[in-house]
């Protein structure tokens, strides 16, 4: 009797866009795939702000990983957080939610852990200014946003009322801009005529950005248009500012001349930076790989770590030719790594062509009917940008049902301002979720 070799073991750490696309590329390959993630769901991160803003439900943007991989006969999903890698013995060490350990042997390792919020060394900011990376963050921010108006309605005096009606956003990237637009729309449109004491439409939204433009990654012409749109929406944009302090009542910023200004705001949200989760440093130690300033792992042109052709690093946590942290990059690098492993599992020995990013463009939604879109040299803004944004997001949302539901939710919020998902849990009322806390590496 012929002995059948055990299938090659592929461990994929992380079930975001990169991890999911890697698993999909391996679907018909004779390997045993294990996807390990500290969440049980795959999150459609580009729409997370819409969950925070009360337009979409958690289930509309997050689907069970094992549901998505149900028909992948060769794939197993495990709920655990990878904590360390033994690159010599080829083992991933992980921790289950109850704290117990799990050890996963691999022949190929695909790292797709993404990035987490960074406070640039100011971990103490996290307690007052939650980030926007997980479902927990989104639900926490949803409560903070809607509860701020409730607190304003019952405020003891005008000064307190104004503090509750002031929202500060730190970071002028897509998430900050999208949240700024959402808050102005909630204030002026969704909450219209719901309050008796306050005029919700007079809520101030302050956006602080360190560089000299918002949405800098979209290039100067679109950045300027976005700034004009934000201005028209009533968002107060403060460029060239650096946050030096945050507390429960507001924040202090420093401009380029070194002058500091205090802003009172009971709601401060942080979208300013990202850093690699601790597993990246563990991998760097285990393999000698280099990390950039944010902790991203420097990879070779074929996305492997130097000296470790069996370890691919993909998605946001990968550092290669300054590729941006976009869903599209994560999908393409994940699929690339999956195909590379598939080739080898099929007995192939051909050297893979270096990874090449196909830039399909990027988009940011600002407010109803207005978005900026950049595809190569083509720039779109206003309604045209919004229509492209709509088409792209519907196309990429996973599953017909999610598309239909999102379409319905968008139609209603666009037409009437009404948002269905305004209910929020109170159980985190004591502070932001632990996921907002900076890495304790």
With beta carbons less than 8 A apart as the criterion, state whether 334 and 21 touch: yes
Identify the burial level of 356 via C-beta atoms within 10 angstroms of its C-beta, where 0-12 means exposed, 13-18 middle and 19 or more buried. exposed
Residue found under tokens 């109850």: 98
With beta carbons less than 8 A apart as the criterion, state whether 268 and 129 touch: yes
State yes or no: residue 98 binds a second copy (CB under 8 A).
Answer: yes
Query: Exactly one of 2, 124, 160, 178 is catalytic; which is it?
Result: 178
Closer residue to a second copy, CB minimum distance, 2 or 98: 98
Q: CA-CA distance, 66 to 61, in Å (whole number)?
A: 15
Q: Are strands 31-37 and 75-79 parallel, antiparallel or unpaired?
A: parallel
In the complex, minimum distance from the CB of residue 97 to a second copy, in angstroms, rounded to a whole number: 6
State yes or no: residue 423 binds a second copy (CB under 8 A).
Answer: yes
Closest CA to 37 of 136, 112, 104: 112
Closer residue to a second copy, CB minimum distance, 144 or 374: 144
Q: Which stretch binds a second copy (CB under 8 A): 92-100, 311-319, 330-338, 382-390?
A: 92-100
Q: How many residues bind a second copy (CB under 8 A)?
A: 63
String marking each residue 41-80 x if it binds a second copy according to CB under 8 A: x-x----------x--xxxxxxxx-xx--x-----xxxxx
Closest CA to 29 of 88, 107, 101: 107
Strand partners, 313: 111
State yes or no: residue 422 binds a second copy (CB under 8 A).
Answer: yes
**Binds a second copy (CB under 8 A): choice among 118, 166, 229, 435:** 435
Closer residue to a second copy, CB minimum distance, 135 or 380: 135
**Binds a second copy (CB under 8 A): choice among 97, 221, 232, 301:** 97
Closer residue to a second copy, CB minimum distance, 123 or 232: 123
**Binds a second copy (CB under 8 A): choice among 114, 172, 325, 405:** 405
State yes or no: residue 139 binds a second copy (CB under 8 A).
Answer: yes
In the complex, minimum distance from the CB of residue 235 to a second copy, in angstroms, rounded to a whole number: 24
DSSP string, 1-17: -PPPPPPEEEEEE--SH
State yes or no: residue 156 binds a second copy (CB under 8 A).
Answer: yes
State yes or no: residue 6 binds a second copy (CB under 8 A).
Answer: no
State yes or no: residue 23 binds a second copy (CB under 8 A).
Answer: no
State yes or no: residue 163 binds a second copy (CB under 8 A).
Answer: no
Closer residue to a second copy, CB minimum distance, 173 or 405: 405
Calculate ∠ Cα 212-184-257, nearest 5°: 25
In the complex, minimum distance from the CB of residue 81 to a second copy, in angstroms, rounded to a whole number: 10
Closer residue to a second copy, CB minimum distance, 140 or 204: 140
State yes or no: residue 39 binds a second copy (CB under 8 A).
Answer: yes
Q: Are strands 41-43 and 62-64 parallel, antiparallel or unpaired?
A: antiparallel
How far is the CA of 61 from the CAs of 57, 135, 165, 300, in angstroms?
7, 9, 28, 33
Catalytic: 185? no
**Binds a second copy (CB under 8 A): choice among 27, 83, 107, 195:** 195
State yes or no: residue 398 binds a second copy (CB under 8 A).
Answer: no
**Binds a second copy (CB under 8 A): choice among 128, 140, 308, 393:** 140
Structure-block tokens of residue 6: 């055990």
Helices 327-345 and 17-25: crossing angle in degrees, nearest 10, is: 30
With beta carbons less than 8 A apart as the criterion, state whether 309 and 301 touch: no
Q: Which stretch binds a second copy (CB under 8 A): 175-183, 223-231, 324-332, 415-423?
A: 415-423
DSSP string, 314-340: -GGGEESTT----HHHHHHHHHHHHHH
Q: CA-CA distance, 63 to 2, in Å (whole number)?
A: 41
Closest CA to 252 of 205, 214, 208, 215: 208
Strand partners, 269: 169
- The site for a second copy (CB under 8 A) is made up of 38-41, 43, 54, 57-64, 66-67, 70, 76-80, 96-98, 100, 102, 134-136, 139-140, 146-147, 150-151, 153-154, 156, 193-197, 401-402, 405, 412, 418-429, 433-435
What are the catalytic residues?
178
């Amino acid at each position: 009797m012929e002995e059948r070799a055990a299938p090659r073991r592929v461990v994929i750490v992380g079930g975001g866009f990169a991890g999911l696309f890697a698993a999909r590329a391996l679907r018909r390959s004779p390997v045993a795939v294990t996807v390990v993630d500290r969440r049980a769901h795959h999150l459609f991160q580009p729409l997370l702000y819409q969950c925070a803003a009360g337009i979409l439900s958690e289930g509309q943007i997050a689907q069970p990983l094992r549901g998505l991989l149900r028909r992948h006969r060769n794939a197993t999903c495990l709920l655990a957080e990878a904590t360390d890698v033994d690159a010599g013995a080829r083992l991933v060490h992980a921790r289950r939610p109850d704290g117990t350990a799990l050890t996963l042997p691999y022949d190929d390792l695909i790292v797709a852990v993404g990035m987490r919020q960074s406070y640039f060394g100011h971990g103490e900011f996290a307690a007052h200014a939650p980030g926007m990376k997980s479902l927990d963050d989104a639900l926490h921010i949803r409560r903070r946003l809607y509860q701020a108006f409730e607190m304003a309605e019952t405020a003891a005096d005008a000064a307190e009322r104004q503090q509750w009606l002031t929202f500060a956003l730190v970071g002028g990237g897509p998430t900050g801009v999208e949240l700024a637009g959402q808050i102005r729309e909630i204030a002026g449109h969704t909450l219209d005529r719901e309050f008796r004491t306050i005029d919700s439409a007079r809520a101030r939204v302050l956006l602080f950005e360190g560089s000299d433009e918002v949405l800098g990654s979209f290039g100067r012409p679109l950045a300027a248009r976005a700034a004009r749109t934000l201005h028209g929406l009533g968002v107060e944009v403060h460029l060239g500012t650096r946050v030096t302090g945050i507390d429960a009542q507001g924040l202090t910023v420093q401009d380029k001349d070194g002058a500091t200004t205090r802003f009172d705001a009971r709601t401060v949200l942080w979208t300013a930076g990202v850093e690699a989760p601790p597993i990246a440093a563990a991998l760097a130690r285990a393999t000698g790989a280099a990390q950039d300033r944010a902790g991203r792992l420097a990879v070779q042109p074929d996305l492997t770590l130097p000296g470790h052709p069996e370890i691919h690093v993909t998605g946001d946590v990968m550092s290669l030719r300054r590729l941006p942290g976009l869903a599209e990059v994560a999908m393409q690098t994940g699929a690339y790594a999956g195909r590379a492993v598939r080739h080898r599992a099929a007995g192939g020995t051909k050297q893979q062509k270096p990874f090449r990013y196909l830039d399909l463009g990027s988009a940011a939604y600002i407010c109803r009917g207005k978005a900026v879109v950049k595809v190569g040299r083509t720039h779109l803004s206003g309604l045209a940008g919004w229509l492209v944004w709509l088409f792209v997001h519907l196309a990429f949302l996973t599953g017909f049902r999610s598309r239909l539901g999102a379409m319905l939710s968008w139609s209603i919020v666009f037409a009437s301002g009404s948002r269905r998902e305004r209910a929020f849990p109170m159980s985190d009322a004591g502070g932001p979720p632990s996921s907002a806390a900076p890495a304790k590496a």
